Amino acid sequence: MRESELPVKFEPQGKTVFVLHGTTVVEAAARAGISMNMPCGGQGTCGKCRVRLVSGACEPRDAERGLLTQADIEDGVRLACQTCICAPMSVEVPETSVLTSTFQILGGASGVARARLMDVSDVAVRKRFVELPAPSREDETPDIDRLERAVGPFYLELDLLRQMPQRLRQWQFHGTAVLADHRLIDFEEADTTSEVYAAAFDIGTTTLVGTLIDLTTGRECATVLRINPQTSYGDDVVARINLVRQDPAGLDKLHRAIIGEVNSMLAELCAEAKADVHHVYEATFAGNTTMQHLLEGVDPSALGEVPFVPATGRALMLHARELGINIHPRGRVYIFPVIGGFVGGDTTAGIMATRLADATGATVLVDIGTNGEIVVSHGGRMVATSTAAGPAFEGARITFGMRATNGAIEKVLFDGDVRTNVIGGVAPVGLCGSALVDVVAEMLRHGLLMSEGLMLLPDQVPDTVPGPLRERVIIAPEGTAFVLATSAESATGSPVYVTQKDIRELQLATAAIRAGFSILLRRVGLTVGDVDQVLIAGGFGNFIRRSNAQRIGLLPADLERRRISFVGNTSLAGARLAAASQKIRHRAEEIAREIEHVDLSVDPEFQEQYVEAMFFPEEG
Amino acid sequence: MRESELPVKFEPQGKTVFVLHGTTVVEAAARAGISMNMPCGGQGTCGKCRVRLVSGACEPRDAERGLLTQADIEDGVRLACQTCICAPMSVEVPETSVLTSTFQILGGASGVARARLMDVSDVAVRKRFVELPAPSREDETPDIDRLERAVGPFYLELDLLRQMPQRLRQWQFHGTAVLADHRLIDFEEADTTSEVYAAAFDIGTTTLVGTLIDLTTGRECATVLRINPQTSYGDDVVARINLVRQDPAGLDKLHRAIIGEVNSMLAELCAEAKADVHHVYEATFAGNTTMQHLLEGVDPSALGEVPFVPATGRALMLHARELGINIHPRGRVYIFPVIGGFVGGDTTAGIMATRLADATGATVLVDIGTNGEIVVSHGGRMVATSTAAGPAFEGARITFGMRATNGAIEKVLFDGDVRTNVIGGVAPVGLCGSALVDVVAEMLRHGLLMSEGLMLLPDQVPDTVPGPLRERVIIAPEGTAFVLATSAESATGSPVYVTQKDIRELQLATAAIRAGFSILLRRVGLTVGDVDQVLIAGGFGNFIRRSNAQRIGLLPADLERRRISFVGNTSLAGARLAAASQKIRHRAEEIAREIEHVDLSVDPEFQEQYVEAMFFPEEG
């Protein structure tokens, strides 16, 4: 049985998503790409996430009665964090309720942390339209000095210098100077000051996300998501490092693949935003250490063996042309500093996006992806590590696994039978990582799975399990399996199920993160009870359910649930900040140098913790 | 009649030159490329230019008797500035008598100012041999950060970054870092700290001179002189600017010609010094404004019309690779700042070489070349101008004109007949600029030439002129002419003579410089009597005789002769200083900005002064 989802429409965004009964409006909004302003962390205490339910409103909760007037309530106003969806709904989102700066997300917003509007007061790229006086007998100042007199001193490349005398004369000494730091990037005809863009990229092992930012307003104009084409050379970074080590052309293949895809994304971003790619003057990139090496075309072989040394730890500022990135040919590419080993620029970016360095209480940032990075910030000290979780959370190496796109079962709950939510409201094709977490948590709760991760055989399932669920335990060609969608229900005509091997993959991924989490806490002398906040980052984090993450042991069970927040793709958020702010770049460099990097492979406790974490928690 | 020259051999340099009877040892040394240490300006008062005459010693003068002991004198020790050559001579030059820093030449050394040994304490390029610890589990510092830990922070280009991981591992983390400012230029195998070179170039309209400097010692290793191949496209800068304006491929042709020649010179310099061209990390260039534009490949068209505006006034620091200069591919090219209009980087370099900005008395720097530049420094104020002298001083546009190379008559004097000195001691082919000055001065003295520049016809020559001289006045196919070498004496079988047109060319060149000189003095409120020093720069300056320069009016007749010094190629000397010192580059930039540029074309007095200067002075 597959429940039909409830449509929820958001205005003025004009977006509709389909969600399961009982989903909160905040979660639905996150699905629609809208980050609600929620400094209290969804406790219903700050009243910042006000929305108006045009239709489908249900009774307000006590928290809402305390914060809203009777007139508001009668008008349909509710708090998005307190409102569960129990009918098709139309929601009006006031601008004041939308998260406007990524910096706010440390307060604990659930859902995708997307900066709608950024501060552009500190942007590296600036344009100045100038109307210079033409040279005369009374003013014989050389061409370049003439321009400098108007815009301040700058450095310029030879190819631009060569074009300047003609351009100045052709345009009667009027035009727009494009400056970045103290470089003259270009001198353009007429007044182009309204056309200044930067692109920001998160380059994940599996997924690439790019966004185009209008630097005159700080607005995001377009976003593009792609599968990393390098996945065809290997699912995880280890496979790609091995390719480089074994195939003399391997590095070039991987480098070309990512550069080509980024350029294709840039073209799409510009087309969508109706922007000229020559008006994109900077691109920023955040990714894990290996991905950044492959983007740069730098050999990551030393990352493939003890002691796992990157080529460079510092941030890089490269010429777009030398890297082959198709923005303005004299534009620049910024790549985030690496913290150490596999703790890469994506983590540095995440620290910037969440302002982790400024956190007052003990705060843990967990980026759940193919590579899991964990950072603990406590009293001005920061410690970071990475664990090889594998691609299970991204749906890879799972029998019917897929990314969180249309056709993916993204949510599963058992209520006598299985209820699923499918992205796009279509017949299911497979399941994504969040659904795998759900089904494992529910199987543990219903006694269909033992704590060591072993599925019960069909004839071992106890009678207390409701019949519809018992019937879903089958012997598939791959062995014992649990059916989420029958061949009649699925879009493919074949059933969608979870196998014993899939559960083993999830165990390995979960254990890696959990063990890293434990060791880092111990390093700074904390216990789970001391933790004020856990920030879950990564595309996967958008969809995960806290209770299920705790049930399978991905997060400690004794962590108060209200302390867990989902902060979305902080790598991309950090890249966006760096695109708009020079201070962010400088601060990122400082932080990457100051932070302590813990190499779990040399930690004597890790193996022990890891084996322990392989067991699912006993208590549901 | 052609006098046989006297051979003079210098040791330990091992160089022999041939000179006329009566030439001073200082002049002969200059011809051999040796600059004597002579802070008193050749007055015989400081005693710094001591040499030992192994053979050919004549009686000492009074000045020498006062400064040298009797034992010295008996041993053949003399002062080079006081000793005239009256016999074949062998001269031992002690190291202490050789000019070791260009900075000393402001004191007034005659002859070529060549810095034998430069201060290298402020060199931009430095090498560090490092033996880094290999990465270990206890020290997982990334590769680049590891190197920075040893040599300090640096910026490096992507292509080098890409090579670093492999190089470090292949060489067990040992090697030599090459740094310039805060850039890592290269990382070389083993210890190469003894191999650090820079090249310095003077790029004249007619002549190119390059020199290779060992930056570990400050020693000059090799010097190469070439004709500027652009001369085939036009003798002077105006012709070349016109080519660029008329021929769409003109700029490219001229740019390629100079770059190709510079690269050929670099190859020769390295071959001569047995240096690897990849160990040349910087090249510095000084030239007039047009030449610097053509070197850079920047369109100089705006210099071809009022108000004569250069593309850039500032110093340029370019990548050798982008300019196509074949030194180390990541090496850098420095080009001197331009003062304004046609007063180019060669003048800035000359100001640095002569320390003109620090001169205490009123000092005039005159660079005599195809373009004549004049700078007056007085009481901390500097004023500069340029005049189009034309290539007469370099022997061009003269019927039998040639550069000052083997076969060129370089000196002429009349003593009843004509006595000449030919470079290389061979039969003459033609005459160079200094001989033209000589012959015109002598013709004026002997009444063969009128002050307006008209040669007497053969039948107009007065009887007081000795017969042998009278016979040299002929009617050649070009008109009236004065014969320096008959067809029997010359190497070509044709006579070598000076025509009326040749004299007109010299008049134009002389008048341009003299008028500029007068106007600049007036600008700063000085008269000739106030001038403490006149420094004559330019390759031509090496050979000119002060008395004759004054006789033809190139320099004011009322200037005390002891105030005139020949400082040689100060453009090259400045380029060499910039190759060895960053401070010089910074100071050059300041000076180029501070100095006042006078555009003679807009000066109401110039035309008047110019016409006046066209007349040779009446008084011999």
Mean pLDDT of each 10-residue bin along chain A, 620 residues long? 70 82 80 66 71 87 85 89 87 75 29 54 94 93 96 94 97 97 95 97 92 93 90 87 95 96 97 96 97 97 92 95 97 97 96 92 90 92 90 85 86 93 89 94 95 94 94 95 96 94 94 94 94 86 81 92 87 94 95 93 86 83
A417/B contact by beta carbon, under 8 A: no
Indicate if the pLDDT at residue B25 is higher than 90.
Answer: no
B306/A contact by beta carbon, under 8 A: yes
Q: Which helix (H) or strand (E) holds B591?
A: helix B582-594
Pairing between β-strand B280-287 and β-strand B197-203 as defined by DSSP bridges: parallel
Residue A7 CB burial class (10 angstroms; 0-12, 13-18, ≥19): middle
Decide if B165 and A311 are in contact by the 8 Å CB cutoff.
Answer: yes
Amino acid at B13: Q
Indicate if the pLDDT at residue B111 is higher than 60.
Answer: no
**Least CB-CB distance to A145: which of B135, B314, B602?**
B314
B322/A contact by beta carbon, under 8 A: yes
A323/B contact by beta carbon, under 8 A: yes
**Other CB atoms within 10 A of residue A67 CB:** 18
Task: Give the C-alpha distances (Å, rounded to integers) separating B131 from A357, B142, B151.
Answer: 35, 16, 11
A299/B contact by beta carbon, under 8 A: yes
Q: Can you state the percent helix, strand and coil of chain B, rounding each to 5?
A: 35, 25, 40
CA distance A213 to A210: 10
Of B459 and A370, the structure prediction assigns the larger pLDDT to B459
Task: Give the C-alpha distances (Å, rounded to integers) separating B177 from A297, A311, B149, B193.
Answer: 22, 16, 12, 9
**pLDDT category, B39, cuts 50, 70, 90?**
low
Residue B343 CB burial class (10 angstroms; 0-12, 13-18, ≥19): buried
pTM, to two decimals: 0.80
A248/B contact by beta carbon, under 8 A: no
CA distance A100 to A119: 10
Search chain A and give the residue with CA nearest B164.
Answer: A311
Decide if B322 and A158 are in contact by the 8 Å CB cutoff.
Answer: yes
Pair A397, A540: CB distance under 8 Å: no
Of B601 and B104, the structure prediction assigns the larger pLDDT to B601
Plot region of B449 (φ>0 → left; ψ -120 to 50 → alpha; else → beta): beta
List the one residue out of B397, B395, B282, B295 whose CA is nearest residue B344.
B295
Decide if A161 and B299 are in contact by the 8 Å CB cutoff.
Answer: no
Contacts with B66 (C-beta within 8 Å, 6 or more apart), sequence order:
none
Q: What is the pLDDT of residue B69?
A: 85
Pair B436, B506: CB distance under 8 Å: yes
B165/A contact by beta carbon, under 8 A: yes
CA distance A380 to A364: 13
List the one residue out of A546, A552, A547, A480 whose CA is nearest residue A514.
A552
Q: Half-sphere exposure of residue A53, counting CA atoms within 13 Å on the CB side? A: 25
pLDDT per residue over B42-56, tens digit each?
Answer: 667 667 788 999 888
> What values do phi and psi take at B579, rounded to 5?
-70, -25
CA distance B115 to A76: 89
In this prediction, residues B97-112 reach a mean pLDDT of 38
Pair B93, B12: CB distance under 8 Å: yes
**Least CB-CB distance to B158: which of A148, A162, A322?**
A322
DSSP character for B304? G
**Least CB-CB distance to B341: which of A140, A338, A597?**
A140
List the one residue out of A401, A349, A413, A348 whose CA is nearest residue A370.
A401
In this prediction, residues B321-330 reach a mean pLDDT of 97
A92/B contact by beta carbon, under 8 A: no
**Other CB atoms within 10 A of residue B530 CB:** 12
- Which residues on chain A are in Cβ contact (under 8 Å) with B143? 302, 309-312
**Shortest Cα distance from A521 to chain B (angstroms)?**
21
pLDDT per residue over B55-81, tens digit each?
Answer: 888 888 888 888 888 888 988 999 988
Q: What is the pLDDT of residue B38?
A: 62
Of B529 and B43, the structure prediction assigns the larger pLDDT to B529
What three-state secondary structure class fits B470?
A: helix
Contacts with A448 (C-beta within 8 Å, 6 or more apart), sequence order:
A455, A456, A461, A465, A469, A473, A482
Of B258 and B368, the structure prediction assigns the larger pLDDT to B258
Search chain A and give the residue with CA nearest B138.
Answer: A307
Tokens coding A458: 């069909």
- Least confident stretch, A211-225, A261-275, B459-473, B602-616: B602-616
Apex A579 CA angle, A574 and A581, nearest 5: 90
How many residues appear in chain B?
Answer: 620
Of A95 and B500, the structure prediction assigns the larger pLDDT to B500
Amino acid at B584: I
Tokens coding B484: 């320096």
Could you give the domains of chain A? 6-98 (3.10.20.30), 125-188 (3.10.20.880)
Q: What is the pLDDT of residue B36?
A: 72
Decide if B140 and A309 are in contact by the 8 Å CB cutoff.
Answer: yes
A-proximal residues of B, 330-389, CB under 8 Å: 338, 340-341
Tokens coding B378: 């007085």
CA distance A503 to A436: 8
**pLDDT category, B101, cuts 50, 70, 90?**
very low
DSSP character for B173? T
Q: What is the pLDDT of residue A12?
A: 84
**Least CB-CB distance to A341: which of B140, B308, B341?**
B140
Mean pLDDT taken over chain B: 89
B318/A contact by beta carbon, under 8 A: yes
**Other CB atoms within 10 A of residue A40 CB:** 18
Task: Give the C-alpha distances (Å, rounded to integers) separating B185 from B156, B176, B188.
Answer: 7, 11, 10
Residue A170 CB burial class (10 angstroms; 0-12, 13-18, ≥19): exposed
CA distance B449 to B443: 6
**Other CB atoms within 10 A of residue B127 CB:** 22
- Which residues on chain B are in Cβ contact (under 8 Å) with A309? 135, 140-143
Residue A62 CB burial class (10 angstroms; 0-12, 13-18, ≥19): exposed
> What values do phi and psi take at B427, rounded to 5?
-70, 140
- Which residues on chain A are in Cβ contact (under 8 Å) with B323? 158
List the one residue out of B384, B381, B445 whose CA is nearest residue B418.
B445
Q: What is the pLDDT of residue B331?
A: 97
Indicate if the pLDDT at residue B102 is higher than 70.
Answer: no
How large is the C-alpha radius of gyration of chain B?
26
Pair B237, B291: CB distance under 8 Å: yes
Decide if B158 and A311 are in contact by the 8 Å CB cutoff.
Answer: no
DSSP character for A115? -
Plot region of B40 (φ>0 → left; ψ -120 to 50 → alpha; else → beta): alpha
List the one residue out of B541, B565, B549, B554 whose CA is nearest residue B31.
B541
List the one residue out of B441, B445, B426 whose CA is nearest residue B2.
B426
Dihedral sign of CA atoms A544, A547, A551, A554 in order: positive
